[in-house]
Amino acid sequence: MAGIYPCYNQMPLTEEKIKKLTEKAAEIRKSIIDMLIEAKSGHTAGALGMADIFTYLYFHELKHNPQKPKWEYRDRLVLSCGHICPVLYATMAHAGYFPITVLKTLRKFGSPLQGHPHRDYFPALETSSGPLGSGLSQTVGMVMADRIDNGNSSGRQFYCVMSDGELDEGNSWEGAMLAGKEKLQNLTVIIDRNNIQISGFTEDVMPLNPLVDKWRAWNFHVQEIDGHNFTDIDRAINEAKSIFDRPSVIIAYTIPSKGIPEFERKFEWHGKPPETKEEISLALKAIHTMGGKMKTLNDD
Amino acid sequence: MIRQIFIESFLMINHEIKLNSKLFDGEVERISMRAGFGEGLVQAAMRDKKIVGLCADLAESTYMDSFKNKFPDRFIEVGVAEQNLVTVASGMAAAGKIPFVGSYAVFSPGRNWEQIRTTICYNNAPVKIVGSHAGLNVGADGGSHQALEDIALMRVLPRMVVVSPCDAIEARKATMAMAKTDSPTYIRLAREKSAVITTEETPFTIGKAQILFRSGVKNQAGRNNDQHSKRIDHESCLDIGIIATGAMVYRALHVAKKLDEEGKKVAVMNLSTIKPLDEDAIIKLAHEARAFVTIEEHQIAGGMGSVVAECLAKHYPIPIEYVGVNDLFGQSGTPRELMEHYGLSEKAVYEAANRAMLRKL
A and B: number of Cβ contacts within 8 A: 99
DSSP characters for B41-85?
A: HHHHHHH-TTEEEEESS-TTTTT-HHHHHH-GGGEEE--S-HHHH
Beta-carbon contacts of A264 under 8 Å, excluding residues fewer than 6 positions away, are A255, A256, A257, A258
pLDDT attached to residue A9: 57
Candidate from B88, B115, B123 with C-beta closest to A140 = B88
Question: Cα–chain-centroid distance for residue B275?
Answer: 11
CB contact under 8 A, A128 and B89: no
Q: Span B245-262, mean pLDDT?
A: 97
B101 and B234 fall within a common domain? no
Lateral strand order in the sheet of B320-325: B210-214, B266-270, B240-244, B292-299, B320-325
Tell me if B89 and A129 make a contact (CB, 8 A cut-off).
no
Residues B186 and B229 in one domain: no
Query: In terms of domains, do B325 and B183 share one?
Result: no
Of A118, A127, A174, the CB nearest to B94: A127
Q: What is the mean pLDDT of residues B20-32?
A: 91
- In which domain, by residue range, is B303 found? 2-24+201-358
Rounded CA separation B136/B298 (Å): 8
DSSP for A43-60, please give it: --HHHHHTHHHHHHIIII
Number of domains, chain B: 2
Residue A58: per-residue pLDDT: 98
Q: Which residues of A touch B159 (CB under 8 A)?
A: none
Task: Please check whether residues B49 and B139 belong to one and the same domain.
Answer: yes
ipTM for the whole predicted complex goes beyond 0.85: yes
pLDDT at position B69 is: 98
On whether both B261 and B302 belong to a single domain, the answer is: yes
* pLDDT for B225: 44
Among chain B residues, the shortest Cα distance to A138 is held by B91
> What mean pLDDT do residues B340-348 have?
98
Clarify whether residues B149 and B86 are in a common domain: yes
Residue finishing a domain among B171, B195, B219: B195
Residue B256's CATH number: 3.40.50.920
Q: Who among A130, A139, A175 is closest to B118 (CB)? A: A130
Question: Which of B202, B48, B193, B73 lies closest to B128, judged by CA?
Answer: B48
Stretch among A191-205, B209-223, B254-268 having the lowest mean pLDDT: B209-223
φ, ψ (nearest 5 deg) of residue A267? -65, -20
Q: CB distance A134–B93 less than 8 Å?
A: no
Amino acid identity for residue B216 in this structure: G
Per-residue model confidence (pLDDT) at position B25: 83
Question: Could you tell me if B171 and B267 lie in one domain?
Answer: no
Q: Which residues of chain A make contact with B89, given a CB cutoff of 8 A?
A: 141
- For residues B247, B249, B179, A171, the Cα torsion angle rounded to the nearest 10 degrees is -50
Q: Tell me the β-bridge partners of B131.
A: B103, B188
Instruction: Note whether B221 and B335 are same-domain residues.
Output: yes
CB within 8 Å of B266: residues ≥ 6 apart: B213, B214, B215, B238, B239, B240, B241, B242, B256, B259, B260, B289, B353
B190: domain CATH number? Answer: 3.40.50.970
Q: Quick check: B285 and B266 in contact, CB under 8 A?
A: no
pLDDT tens by residue, A19-32: 999 999 999 999 99
- DSSP string spanning B296-355? EEEESTTSHHHHHHHHHHHH----EEEEEE-S----SS-HHHHHHHTT-SHHHHHHHHHH
**Same-domain status, B290 and B339:** yes
Least confident of A210-214, B16-20, B36-40, B268-272: B16-20
Residue B61 and residue B20 in one domain: no
Are B219 and B226 spatial neighbours (Cβ–Cβ below 8 Å)?
no
Nearest CA in chain B to A77: B91
Whether B110 shows a pLDDT value over 70: the answer reads yes
Where do the domains of chain A lie, and which CATH numbers do they carry?
14-299 (3.40.50.970)
- Residue range B93-105: mean pLDDT, rounded: 98
* CB–CB contact B79 A137 (8 Å): no
Mean pLDDT comparison of B9-18, B174-183, B209-218, B219-228, highest-scoring range = B174-183
Instruction: Give chain B positions within 8 Å (CB) of A119.
Output: 122-124
pLDDT for A265 beyond 50: yes
pLDDT at B1 over 80: no
Put simply, the answer to whether B84 touches A129 (Cβ < 8 Å) is no
The residue among B130, B160, B195 that closes a domain is B195
Does the distance separating the beta carbons of B122 and A118 come in below 8 Å? Answer: yes
B262/B176 same-domain check: no
The answer on pLDDT for B47 being more than 90 is: yes
In angstroms, the CA B26 to CA B30 distance is: 11
**pLDDT tens digits, B189-223:** 999 999 999 999 999 999 999 999 999 854 444 34
| Stretch (H or E) spanning B266 | strand B266-270
Angstrom distance (rounded) from CA B231 to CA B221: 10
In this prediction, residue B230 carries a pLDDT of 46
Q: Give the residue from B195, B216, B245 where a domain finishes.
A: B195
Q: Which helix (H) or strand (E) holds B89?
A: helix B82-94
> What does the DSSP 8-state code read for residue B147?
B
Residues B19 and B60 in one domain: no
Sign of the CA dihedral with B246 first, then B248, B254, and B260 last: negative
Q: Which residues of A touch B (CB under 8 A)?
A: 78, 118-120, 126-131, 133-134, 137-146, 148, 170-171, 174-175, 177-178
Are the Cβ atoms of B91 and A119 closer than 8 angstroms?
Answer: no
The residue-averaged pLDDT of A33-51 equals 97
CA distance B346 to B340: 8
